[in-house]
Structure formats: C-alpha cells, structure tokens
Amino acid sequence: MSEEAPRPAPARHRILVVDDERQTVSAVKHLLRRKYKVLGATRAQEALELLDQEPVSVVLCDQRMPEMTGDAFFAEARRRHPNTIRILITAYADIQALVRSINNGHIFGYVAKPWSPEELEHMVARAIEHWDVSELNRRMTRELADANQLLQKANDELKAFTHVVAHDLKEPLRTIAAYTQFMRGDLDPPLQPEGLHYLDGIQRCAEHLFRLIDDLMRFTEIDHIERALEPTELRYVVGKALEMLEGAVRDRGAEVQVADDLPVVQGDAGRLVLLFQNLISNGLKFNQSDPPRVEVGVVPGEGDTVEVFVRDNGIGIHHDYQQQIFEIFERLHARTEYPGTGAGLAIVRRIVELHGGAVVVESAPGNGSTFRLTLRRADAPR
Ligand code: ADP
C-alpha cells in the first residue's frame, strides 16, 4: 500500500457515514454531530468522491448497499486513503462480508446491527484515538525523515567544503615543498648549516600540515557505511590490521597477543581494520615498557553485543583527559615526543558509532590503557 500524502489535519475530526438508507445516515449524523463534523453519503461512489475531497478521519459504512457492498467500498477506500480508519456496520449473519472487510479493507472494527447509540459512539471514539496516535506517529516519522534529509545535506556540503579547502591548502604547501627543495640544491653559494637547519624545520611543518589535511579528509569521509553491515570475522580483521603494523611491531620488539575466541560481528570489514590498526598502533606508540605488549580480547556483552578490548602496557592516560582524546586533533603530547596528528581516536569513535556501538577507555598514568568497544554479534561467518 503506497504512503498517503499528508493532508492538513482538520480542526474537528471529520466522520463520514455511508448507508443507502437516508434515515440511518441522519440518525448517525445526529448522534455524532456534537463532537465531530459528520458527512453523509447514500451511495458508495459519492462517498469515495467525498473522501477524495476532504480529509476524513473515520468512515463508517453499511455492508448491504445496492451498487457496491461495504467490503468492496472499504477495499477501494483503503487503496485511495489508507490513513482513514474504517468501521463496518453489518448484521451478525454477514460473517463472510466481515472476513472480506478485514482481509481487503483492513477495517478497524465493526458494529453489529441493530446498533445501540452508546456502542456506536464508543467505537467511533476508539477509532479517533487510534487515528490521533497514528497521525502523531506519521508526523514524527515525516519530521524525522525531513531532519535526516537536512542532516545529510549539511554533511554532504561539509564534505564538499572540506575537499575544496583541502585541495586549496595543499596547493601552496606543494609550492613551499618545491621551494625548500630548490633552496637545498640550487643556491650559489649553498646554504650554511644554520640555514639548512631552518629549512628542515619548514619542511617538517609542511609535511605535518599535509598529514593533518589528509587525516581531516579521512575523518570527514567516514560519515556513513556504504554497504549493509554483514557478518565479519574479527580474527580476520585483527589479522589484517596486524599485517599493516608488521614493521612497527618488529621495530619496537613488541608482543601482540590476540585471543582465539574473537567473535563474528555485524560489521564493515574495511572500516574495522582501520579501527584496530589505530588502537593497536597507539598501544605500541604510547608505550615505554620493554617489551611493549598489546592484547586484543573479548568478553560477553549484554544481549547480542560483545565487548572487544585492546589493552596495552603503555604510558596510560590521566582520568581528566579520557574523554577529550576522542575529539579530532586532540593530543596529550608534543609531536617531538610521540608523532601523530590526533585524528586516530576520533576515527575509531566514529567507526564504532556507525556500527551502533560505543568506545570507552580505562586507564591510569603508568598503568597502561584498555580501550573497550561494543559491537553486535553476528550468527553466521562471512
Ligand atoms: P595520535 O595517535 O595521532 O596522537 P589519536 O587520536 O590516536 O592521535 O590519540 C589522541 C591522543 O590520545 C594521543 O596523542 C595520546 O596522547 C592519547 N592516546 C591514545 N592512545 C593512547 C594509548 N594507548 N596510551 C596512551 N595514550 C594514548
């Protein structure tokens, strides 16, 4: 059934009564007119035209009508205006008509003939309540969809803006790099050691700026997951991350221990590799123990979640800074002490959040750090 286009909510609920007997239409009108605006029709065709013209919250229809039966009318009314609530008025004996109305017309309820005024009023009141709740639901869904669309647009614009800025910033940086290169080789007389020292400084700054721009772009690009999340072996993911870090592990003489029972999670393998690469490389980098140790393990989480942790025996993080390190470009150390741009943990947090999870850190200075992330368990391996 297609979505009905939103129609302005009536000031008073409109009720439509359809019955080929004029007296019945009048009786129902009389009964309900104090609370609602009541419209009447004695032919199904006329009723359908009324429904097309005015927003009607509830329609009541008699089953036995000469041109079109009540259940056939409801099937058509539902096709045209699925949001209007439908109530059948029928004799007890018409059980087949009732079944058809339920199946094809998705009626809200029925009133058996001969109906009592209280019964009819009560049924209409319940239908109106139902309409109000459904309408609120529809409005909220629409508002959410609108807000999502705006957010998506803002995100796209931000991404486009970042690309332009990144491109424009890189251009002069390339020129600076080229000039420093010329100054190193082409000057006559050549630069003295002091000049070369300054040139090294300029070059280091330019390279750092390049890395910052690249990381900023990488960060803004992780704003959604392209494909649906699928069952992903974490052992495979962590293995891939370690392949990328092979050099760093070897250079630091580090020990990396990966649990055998890493689960299969709902995930995006590429993004998860990036996540573990960041966490494990931090565990190696911010570490002065000999040997540096990093452990990747798992503990059961609540419901269908698992908690995966990356633990190191590194320098640790003071409690006061344990939130801010997840912000982009936040660092606690000078670059001369530990290299980096400060984008890694912001990327980690964004990836976990795109997986519907969260990341926290437990740490104390000098006592190593444990990053804990929740992910959703999947049943079947990829
Ligand atoms: P980067 O590694 O480029 O500095 P991150 O965003 O990955 O950036 O980390 C932000 C900061 O958090 C780091 O500069 C460091 O001060 C701190 N940090 C991250 N991981 C660890 C860790 N395992 N142990 C100690 N400090 C850490």
User: Which atom of ligand 1 is least distant from the CA of 312?
Assistant: 23
* Res 381 pLDDT > 60: no
The tokens for 52 are: 């097309």
Ligand 1 center to 317 CA (angstroms) = 9
Dist CA 339 CA 333 (whole Å): 9
Mutation choice for ligand 1 from 208, 296, 333, 345, CB with most ligand atoms inside 8 A: 345
Q: What is the pTM of this model?
A: 0.70
Provide the mean pLDDT of the chain.
92
The tokens for 44 are: 């199904």
Q: Give the residue among 11, 20, 80 at the shortest CA–CA distance from 52.
A: 80
Which amino acid is it at 147?
Answer: A
Dist CA 225 CA 266 (whole Å): 12
pLDDT of amino acid 380: 43
Pocket of ligand 1 (CB under 6 A): 278, 282-283, 286, 312, 314-317, 325, 330-333, 340-346, 369
Dist CA 152 CA 165 (whole Å): 20
- The β-bridge relationship of strands 14-18 and 37-41 is parallel
Mutation choice for ligand 1 from 212, 286, 347, CB with most ligand atoms inside 8 A: 286
Q: Give the residue among 366, 359, 356 at the shortest CA–CA distance from 345.
A: 359
* Res 210 pLDDT > 60: yes
Residue whose Cα lies nearest atom 19 of ligand 1: it is 282
For 286-302, letters b (16+ CB in 10 Å) and e give bbeeeebbbbbbbeebe
Ligand 1 center to 233 CA (angstroms) = 26
Dist CA 306 CA 13 (whole Å): 50
Mutation choice for ligand 1 from 212, 331, 347, 367, CB with most ligand atoms inside 8 A: 331
Cβ–Cβ under 8 Å, residues 43 and 14: no
For 55-108, the pLDDT digits (tens) are: 999 999 999 999 899 999 999 999 999 999 999 998 877 888 888 888 888 999
pLDDT of amino acid 104: 86
* Res 160 pLDDT > 50: yes
Ligand 1 center to 342 CA (angstroms) = 7
Which amino acid is it at 70?
Answer: G
User: Which atom of ligand 1 is least distant from the CA of 316?
Assistant: 25
Q: Give the residue among 259, 257, 262, 266 at the shortest CA–CA distance from 231.
A: 266
Residue 29 burial by CB count (10 A; 0-12/13-18/19+): exposed, middle or buried? middle
Would you give the distance in Å from CA 231 to the centre of its chain?
18
Ligand 1 center to 330 CA (angstroms) = 8
Cβ–Cβ under 8 Å, residues 101 and 88: yes
Cβ–Cβ under 8 Å, residues 87 and 110: yes
End-to-end Cα, the chain, rounded Å: 35
Ligand 1 center to 282 CA (angstroms) = 6
Torsion of CA 186, 191, 195, 198, to 10 degrees: 30
User: Which atom of ligand 1 is least distant from the CA of 333?
Assistant: 16
* Res 158 pLDDT > 70: yes
User: Which atom of ligand 1 is least distant from the CA of 371?
Assistant: 23
